[in-house]
Amino acid sequence: MDLYVYYRVQVADAAVFLTKITEMQDNLRSEYGIRTALKRRPEEQDGLHTWMEVYLEVAEGFEAKLEQAVASSELLAMIAGKRHMEYFLDLTLCA
């Protein structure tokens, strides 16, 4: 399954946040052999951007490993509100 995580970050924190989230994803990619992506909506709303982390073809239990990585990376201090996680199946693999 693929895991998508979205949340909002202050525009003023974007540069520091980008450095930290990129480092975290690089570490996860190396450690677990997964593919990752990072996306951000182009527009801001109320001084916030919406960001999305993408983790493709993750194994069961990856969410706990991700939460541990997030906690140790100090990202939560820059996230406004909650991190929302959603899983999606690749239908071409299910057919």
Structure confidence by residue, pLDDT tens digits, 36-51 = 999 999 999 999 999 9
Q: Among 3.40.50.720, 3.30.70.100, 3.40.50.300, 3.30.70.260, name the CATH number for the domain at 2-90.
A: 3.30.70.100
% pLDDT > 70, the chain = 97
CA distance 18 to 76: 13
CA distance 1 to 93: 10
By the 8 A CB rule, do 8 and 79 touch? yes
- List the domain boundaries for the chain: 2-90
pTM of the model: 0.91
The phi, psi pair for 77, rounded to 5°, reads -65, -20
Q: What is the pLDDT of residues 62-77, one digit of tens each?
A: 999 999 999 999 899 9
